[in-house]
A = this chain, B = another copy of it.
Amino acid sequence: MTEEEFDVTPFDVEGTVDYDRLIDKFGTEEIDEELKERFFDLAGEKNLYVDRDFIYSHRGLEEALDEYEDGEGFFLYTGIGPSGKMHIGHIISFYFTQWMQEKFGVNVYIQVTDDEKYWDRDVTDEEIERYAKDNIREIAAAGFDPDKTFIFRNREYMGNMYDGIVKIAEKINNSQASGVFGFDGSTNIGMNFWPAIQNIPTFFEEKRCVIPAAIDQDPYWRIQRDIAEKFGHKKTAAIHSKFIPALTGPEGKMSSSKPKTAIMLDDTAEEVEEKVKKHAYSGGGDTLEQHQEEGADLAVDTSFQWLRNLLMEDDERIQEIAEAYSSGEMMTGEIKEILIQELNDFLQGHQERKENADEKVQKMMYDGELAQKMWDRKMTLNLSGRPEV
């Protein structure tokens, strides 16, 4: 078998979701080769997730890059809902955000939605308290610049945001909120107010806000795009990822509450090994014979998908794996071993950084350059003659 016989590349195999259709549905734009090249040029380096088309769609990224080139710049905004422990799917977005921060030298705002989760989920206050603290340490471990990153818990920071939230809330009516979020009569009035709180950080700077998120989150920012210009602000931009398949296969969703579907950030090396061996969905043949004849279906194979999308930087090596596994030369047991190794390397580094995150957390929440500036400031939105506070 010569190399020419393979038409598989690790960059064009996908599972059951039709991602092109999602671009059409939401009206976003593909990150095409030209934009990819421009993005990497400006960053000074390519990015694994974008390069492999795991991050593949955007809205307004070109404008944000124009503004970066003009010297105006942009800022990043993301968040976490503290309703459980974090898994590998959660943290990827933060690693990407950190990469953008590092390459473009921009500020990052991270909203910890300890209000929204109380409204949305059957989760106690005690749990929210515990998970908020834990999640913040996980996020800090992604390596953000402690002087350019502000992590804030809504319940704690509300006093500094409320004036601006009042202005935003006045611009959104119940019909719009229910149209976008699906609220109804049984929704509590806290959750119904949530769009105003979700939007305020997009106004933290005059520059354009760029939100890294999974593509299905895109519609939630429609309200921001409708109201931003009323406040003399820019419409928020977004950069969209695909979904990370569950360990148990592309049909499922990785979920902290179903441990076998996910690798948790605090899993031990042994737990990772056991989970991958037991639960990682295989695209390999049902029998040795079938596997050797037909090869593996990379599109549904969790090990391959995770290696390609999230973990394996080395283009040549992932290409080799793609070829060997899809041809039936490599067995499922072998690719699982590779995944276990890569996962444990990743987790080991992450866990060490989390272990030593205390000082960074303190800076990102309170004492760093950006955090101090944010705590000294009362956010407002100038409209109808409100004097600057």
Contact = CB atoms under 8 A, between A and B. Distances in A.
Interface stretch (A8-16, A54-62, A76-84, A118-126): A118-126
Interface residues of A, number: 42
Contacts of A192: 174, 189, 192-193
A174 B162 contact: no
A174 B192 CA distance: 8
Given A186-B175, A188-B173, A166 B115 contact: yes
Interface in A68-123: 115, 118-119
B174 A124 contact: no
B166 A189 contact: no
Given A159-B160, A160-B159, A172 B193 contact: no
Interface in A163-222: 163, 166-167, 169-175, 177-178, 183-190, 192-193, 195-196
B166 A174 contact: no
A296 B372 CA distance: 69
A129 B169 contact: no
Contact of A162 (B129, B155, B177, B196): B155
Looking at A160, A178, A190, A196, which has the most chain B CB atoms within 10 Å of its CB?
A190
Contacts of A170: 118-119, 188, 190
Given A129-B387, A162-B158, A387-B129, A174 B193 contact: no
User: Main SS of the interface on chain A?
Assistant: helix
Contacts of A171: 188
A2 interface: no
Contacts of A167: 118, 125
Given A118-B166, A125-B385, A129-B387, A185 B175 contact: yes
A386 interface: yes
Interface string A369-389: 000000000000001111100
A123 to B, nearest CB: 9
Given A158-B159, A174-B186, A174-B188, 5 more contacts: A126-B385, A155-B162, A174-B185, A175-B185, A175-B186
Interface of A: 115, 118-119, 124-126, 129, 154-155, 158-160, 162-163, 166-167, 169-175, 177-178, 183-190, 192-193, 195-196, 383-387
CB-CB nearest 7 A-B residue pairs? A159-B159, A169-B190, A125-B386, A175-B185, A126-B385, A193-B193, A124-B384
